[in-house]
A and B are shown apart, each in its own frame.
Chain A
Amino acid sequence: MSILVIAEHDNEEIKASTNNVVTAATNLEGDIHVLVAGSNCSGAKDQATKIAGVAKVLVADSPEYEHCLAENIADLIVAISANYTHILSPATTNGKNYMPRVSALLDVAQISDITSIESSDTFERPIYAGNCIATVQNSDSKKVITVRTTAFDAAQNDGSAEVVDLQESHNLGISEFIKEEIAESDRPELTAADVIISGGRGMQNGDNFKILESVADKLGAAIGASRAAVDSGFVPNDYQVGQTGKIVAPNLYIAVGISGAIQHLAGMKDSKVIVAINKDEDAPIFQVADYGLVADLFTAVPELDAKL
């Protein structure tokens, strides 16, 4: 029996979250197969074959998989699921979208957002915004799992897996892609960045995020935000770090003008070093910060920028 990992990719490239899930899969017993489902996805396929620890790359290259519509991807995964004991995907918005559909079609429970694999049927996962860690044992014959990518290191890219072309066409025809507004940025992706600088309500408006950009450029950092900043329209939704936004764990997380609501802490408290800059000395963010600076961000951030 084998383990199936569903690749996260944009047809041209494999996303690092796939490598994290492959590492998680190495904690289980069996060959690891990676499914690349997309359209004109030979770039992603080639990269997938290089992920260390992967035995086979299964490729479903067809127009109906181009935009990762859950209906079509789920049917594809179910169609090839027979020989797998475990099916894993990263807990990205794509994985969260199609995996529960896969589970229900297979009549098995899903184990969401696992942070540790204790045995082939027992896993740890955070609940209540990370305020508790549950150890759960699943009794289904097949385990459908989404993986919190920050909890597992990325597998290296020095492998050479065999490629298997799948002739599987699954188009339910009940959903249709219309358009995508994907932010173009030269900065690293939030979930893969070594350094993140995030702004909160204290930034006051979207224009003020410019002062974070200059610091981010010097540190090679990604820019994030709290829910309050996104809800207020300062920055787009893809900046949001938190329980229901992105979960991050960089080496350095700088929280600027962020009070530290439970749901924000849930998204960043596993960062290695946390810095908080806030003028309110009672802000809860200081309770998780390694280094706190009680100061007005509009003087502290430019000063930090100058000293870097």
Chain B
Amino acid sequence: MKILVPIKRVVDYNVKVRPKADESGVDLNNVKMAINPFCEIAVEEAVRLKEAGTATEIIAVTVGTSASQEQLRTALALGADRAILVETDVEVEPLGIAKVLKGIIDKESPDLILLGKQAIDGDNNQTSQMLAALSGYAQATFASELKIEGEKAVVTREVDGGLQTISVNLPCIVSSDLRLNEPRYASLPNIMKAKQKPLDVIEAGTLGVDIEPRNKTLKVSPPPVREAGIIVETVEDLVDKLKNEAKVIT
């Protein structure tokens, strides 16, 4: 079984980002970048399937500038066998990314495509579902458990009311939720080995798909600020404030 794992380079999850002063965008000067946490979970799941003997090859792929090679190397260090960078300077939206990935699926014919459910920058939660639509495959989103059973994947999904289990035909698209697994740390020897693994660079233009953005960001502003609150000394004070000042309990 061949697994394709699309990943994304994003701002590290510990960074608290701010809009630029002129509100033209998000201020990303000198901030730490990392592999999107959900993508890391997807890589980990692929590696576990390979370790279990279910998968034979793991290909990591990303769409972005040459700086994204750093995150592909991270995926290689975690256990991916080879990587593909589809290079572009355009800030590609989920629909465009899905079109590029469909092009990669056509070239590589993977049996399973594992992605993170959401990138923590745009918080869109779209790419997996769009890729499923474009490839005509079934989708199992927000996965907290994945089992390959013959020609099907049995996936437990995190849904609003609890958990839902579905069975989908392979090839299929699976998007990882937080509790699918806990990713490992790359060991130093594996980080060194990753530098020798193949990393192909393809120009996005050669895939012949439309990646022009459909959305224009008019401005990026800070969220409304909450007024600073007060510290109460006792539970009695708290109950009194909630009853008589905030009037939210009776």
Contact = CB atoms under 8 A, between A and B. Distances in A.
A94 B238 contact: no
Q: Which 9 A-B pairs have the closest CB atoms?
A: A100-B129, A104-B130, A104-B133, A109-B214, A100-B126, A290-B229, A182-B161, A174-B138, A252-B248
Given A112-B125, A237-B162, A275 B139 contact: no
B218 A128 contact: no
Interface string A235-258: 011100001101000011000000
A28 interface: no
A104 B130 CA distance: 5
A180 B129 contact: no
A71 B179 CA distance: 24
A93 B126 contact: no
Contacts of B95: 103-104, 107-110
B32 to A, nearest CB: 14
Given A105-B133, A127-B26, A139-B214, A290 B246 contact: yes
A195 B132 contact: no
B198 interface: no
Counting chain B CB atoms within 10 Å of each CB, the highest count among A140, A181, A287 belongs to A181
B215 A100 contact: no
Contact of A269 (B17, B93, B120, B226): B226
Nearest to B27: A132
B137 to A, nearest CB: 7
Contact of A238 (B18, B161, B169, B230): B161
A122 to B, nearest CB: 7
A163 interface: no
Contacts of B221: 132-133, 135
Nearest to B131: A104
Contacts of A131: 16-18, 222-223
B21 interface: no
A166 interface: no
Interface stretch (B45-53, B60-68, B103-111, B152-160): B152-160
B231 A128 contact: no
Interface of A: 67, 69-71, 74, 92-94, 96-105, 107-113, 122, 126-140, 172, 174-183, 191, 195, 219, 227, 230-231, 236-238, 243-244, 246, 251-252, 262-263, 269, 272-275, 281, 286-295, 300, 303-304, 307-308
Interface residues of B, number: 82
B23 to A, nearest CB: 9
A98 to B, nearest CB: 7
Nearest to A238: B162
13 contacts: A74-B133, A96-B141, A97-B142, A104-B95, A109-B94, A131-B17, A137-B218, A227-B178, A238-B158, A290-B227, A291-B230, A291-B238, A291-B242
A180 to B, nearest CB: 5
Contacts of B158: 93, 237-238
B220 A134 contact: yes
B13 A177 contact: no
Nearest to A300: B235
Interface of B: 11, 13, 16-19, 26, 38, 93-95, 98, 117-118, 120-134, 137-142, 144, 154, 157-169, 172, 177-179, 213-223, 226-232, 234-236, 238-239, 241-242, 246, 248-249
Contacts of A139: 214-216
A74 B213 CA distance: 23
A298 to B, nearest CB: 13
B154 to A, nearest CB: 7
Contacts of A246: 160
A133 B223 contact: yes
A292 B59 CA distance: 49
B215 to A, nearest CB: 5
A120 to B, nearest CB: 14
Contacts of B144: 237
Given A174-B138, A230-B179, A291 B18 contact: no
A153 B248 CA distance: 18
Contacts of B120: 128-129, 243, 263
Nearest to A190: B160
Contact of B11 (A128, A130, A181, A237): A128
Contacts of A113: 123
